[in-house]
Homo-oligomer: A and B are copies of this chain.
């Protein structure tokens, strides 16, 4: 039993190897009757083409790589699911490759990966997707790639991408807080090495300007997309002489840290303090109160990126595409308590 090969199919269908190959690859110029006979034989023998042999022989490869360095499991799982969906549909395999974005020889590492595993190309998640030097090196190695990046618009920098308008989304969240009546809104930065981080800050800044809300340096703190940074940052903000009435964390984990700090300080969210996150991870639904946040559609974005990559490999014309996050209002935000 074991595993039928194309040879067995050919024998069973009484045709040549090549004809079977043609049927499998949907090439034209196979008579309908022959095609059916071959398909029947494939069915009977439960034949599946061997991906190794296939990619060895044809220049083409039948798997792509997914490269990331991101400590957020919710984000990664969503990206994997999306990429896998696209791969399954197109008959591709997916090779995951978590890595260190600061590794000195990342380009070589990725080239070896592509070469050894015969990958057709790479999907790069942030922050790898934002390091131009890396992108140029990979391009020099002729490795097809598609990036997921944070940008308000198509960057037109020659590298295909799926871009997410973090700035606009952060603007929406900030504007929403302002409309609730908040005038002192704290902002906790995400990681410096992620482009999404300054983008989100810019959205925050612009909303304050547009609505004429005074900016204040003491309300803005750096961090690194982590729970602990959210906790520490919130503690500092809440210790100010004039503390904020709302805090906008650059992602849900930071916001979770803010929630914890607020509780530790005996504050009641949302009445004493409004908290907003960013990402719509399951965490934002499961925290108490649940988090007002920005829905990213990570899974669709990743699926689209993988699809784009495969299309590019097939030689199709590739159009960059943008996704707009969407404001999700939950229980962690409310109008500020009127001053006693």
Contact = CB atoms under 8 A, between A and B. Distances in A.
A87 to B, nearest CB: 11
A30 interface: no
A323 interface: no
Contacts of A56: 50, 52-53, 56
Contacts of A94: 95-96
B48 A116 contact: yes
Interface residues of A, number: 42
Interface in A87-145: 93-96, 98, 112, 115-118, 142
Contacts of A77: 73, 76-77
Interface string A162-177: 0000000000000000
Contact of A48 (B112, B260, B282): B112
A76 B72 CA distance: 12
Contact of A52 (B55, B98, B264): B55
A11 interface: no
A115 B287 CA distance: 43
B96 A96 contact: yes
A259 B50 CA distance: 50
14 contacts: A48-B115, A48-B116, A49-B116, A51-B118, A52-B53, A52-B56, A52-B118, A53-B56, A76-B77, A84-B98, A93-B95, A256-B286, A260-B286, A260-B288
Interface of A: 2-3, 48-53, 55-56, 73-74, 76-77, 80-81, 84, 93-96, 98, 112, 115-118, 142, 227, 253, 256-257, 259-260, 263-264, 282-283, 285-288
